[in-house]
Each structure stands twice: as structure tokens, then as C-alpha cells.
């Protein structure tokens, strides 16, 4: 087949959409709705949730007892966010999340998953050798820090509440939110601030180890 006969991705997608619509398998405009929804999915929403939890103890308590309702308080709700469970990191326990079956994330607060989260390698290895995977991703945990790997279920979507970095006490929500990364809310990184969290360490790309206290 000559190259000019190959349909573009958009043309092929449109042909599939038309065929499914013609067969009554897809409602008119359904894909436009999904495309619009996708624009609202943003992990920066989760960063706002984390920053609020760090600055408002009562909100944090609500977040840990009912993640779905507390995220909805800030306007973050919708598909794949119907049952959000928030996991609080402590100096003694590091949480991290995976979907071993596919690639589920809590869309309203974590957005769509990054490519590495979807990779078969991450999904297979992180449950067997989490410390090693974390180390490869740049996070070294002290041996006495417990690791809990949470596998997403059909309904549950997790969000890790990372430890607020030392030296940011008294910062406002607006100052804290930009520090929070998607990786820290998946659990494979710490939130870095002026200091590092208790009991944890990090090795940077240059191989320098920053020790916890």
C-alpha cells in the first residue's frame, strides 16, 4: 500500500466512531464528552488536596476518613473518583500505589496515569521488590521504614498523602501546593522542601545520598 493510502489516526478514530454510532453502540457525542472530561483531569488537583491537608488538621481528618467526600469539598469528583482512599505516609511507613491489573488512578485528583505507572515492569516488580524499584526511581528508604504497596481494586482509587517536608511549617496552602508532585502522591517519591522527612533518605541523580535525620 502506498503511503498516501494510509488513513491518519484521526481518520481511523472517526471511522470507528461512525461505525459504532451507526450500530447504536455509542451515543452521539459520547466521545466529545470524554474528551471534555479529560481536560479536567489534572494531578495538580491532588496537590491542592495535599496542601489543604497539611494546613488544616480538621480537613486532613476528614480526608483520611472519607477521601471521596473530602476531595469533593474542593470540587474534585467524578468518574474514577467514586471511592478515593487516602493513605498517610509517616516516618515509619511509606505507602505506594499500583494497579497490577491495568493502570487505574483516581482521575479527579491524580489525573490519567503516567506511562511508567502503566508499564508491565512497574506493575509486576513493585509488588515483589518495592524497595529496589524505589531505589531505581531515586528514593532510598531506611531499612526500618516499612513499605506498604496498595494494589488498586475494581472500585477503590488510592491517593498517597506524603509527609510535609521539614522547613515548610507555617507555609500557606498556596505556597505548599507547588511542592507536591504526582510521583509523591503515587508514593514513589518524597516531597522535597528545605529539608528531608524523618527516617527517609533520598539519592539524587548524581548519586549523592541525602540522609534523613
For residue 32, the minimal CB distance to Fe ion (Å) is: 24
- Choice between 55 and 80, CB closer to Fe ion: 80
- Choice between 17 and 151, CB closer to Fe ion: 151
Choosing from 93, 102, 119, 184, the catalytic residue is 102
- Choice between 87 and 176, CB closer to Fe ion: 87
Query: Is 104 considered catalytic here?
Result: yes
Q: What is the DSSP string of 93-113?
A: EEEEEE-SSS----HHHH-SP
Choosing from 71, 104, 119, 201, the catalytic residue is 104
Q: Which is it for the CA torsion 133, 136, 139, 144, positive or negative?
A: positive
Give the residues lining the site for Fe ion (CB under 5 A): 99, 102-104
Task: Estimate to the nearest angstrom the gap between the alpha carbon of 207 and the chain centroid.
Answer: 26
For residue 101, the minimal CB distance to Fe ion (Å) is: 5
What is residue 9's three-state secondary structure?
A: helix
CA distances from 148 to 141, 145, 197 (A): 12, 10, 17
For residue 107, the minimal CB distance to Fe ion (Å) is: 11
- Choice between 99 and 200, CB closer to Fe ion: 99
Choosing from 14, 71, 93, 99, the catalytic residue is 99
Query: Is 93 considered catalytic here?
Result: no
Long-range contacts of residues 31-37, Cβ cutoff 8 Å, at least 24 apart: 37/78, 37/79
Query: Is 103 considered catalytic here?
Result: yes
Contact 90, 63 (CB under 8 A): no
Query: Is 71 considered catalytic here?
Result: no
Q: Among all residues, which ones are annotated catalytic?
A: 99, 102-104
Amino acid at each position: 500500500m502506498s503511503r498516501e493510502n494510509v488513513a491518519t489516526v484521526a481518520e481511523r478514530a472517526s471511522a470507528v466512531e461512525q461505525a459504532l454510532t451507526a450500530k447504536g453502540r455509542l451515543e452521539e457525542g459520547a466521545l466529545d464528552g470524554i474528551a471534555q472530561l479529560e481536560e479536567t483531569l489534572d494531578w495538580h488537583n491532588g496537590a491542592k488536596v495535599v496542601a489543604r491537608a497539611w494546613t488544616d488538621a480538621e480537613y486532613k481528618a476528614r480526608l483520611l476518613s472519607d477521601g471521596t467526600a473530602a476531595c469533593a469539598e474542593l470540587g474534585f469528583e467524578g468518574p474514577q473518583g467514586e471511592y478515593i482512599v487516602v493513605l498517610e505516609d509517616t516516618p515509619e511507613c511509606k505507602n505506594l500505589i499500583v494497579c497490577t491489573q491495568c493502570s487505574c488512578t483516581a482521575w479527579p485528583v491524580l489525573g490519567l496515569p503516567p506511562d511508567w505507572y502503566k508499564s508491565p515492569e512497574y506493575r509486576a516488580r513493585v509488588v515483589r521488590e518495592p524497595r529496589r524499584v524505589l531505589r531505581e526511581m531515586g528514593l532510598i528508604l531506611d531499612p526500618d521504614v516499612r513499605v506498604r504497596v496498595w494494589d488498586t481494586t475494581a472500585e477503590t482509587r488510592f491517593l498517597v498523602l506524603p509527609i510535609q517536608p521539614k522547613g515548610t511549617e507555617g507555609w500557606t496552602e498556596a505556597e505548599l501546593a507547588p511542592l507536591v508532585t504526582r510521583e509523591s502522591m503515587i508514593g514513589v517519591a518524597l516531597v522535597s522542601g528545605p529539608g528531608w522527612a524523618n527516617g527517609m533518605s533520598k539519592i539524587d541523580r548524581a548519586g549523592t545520598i541525602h540522609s534523613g535525620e
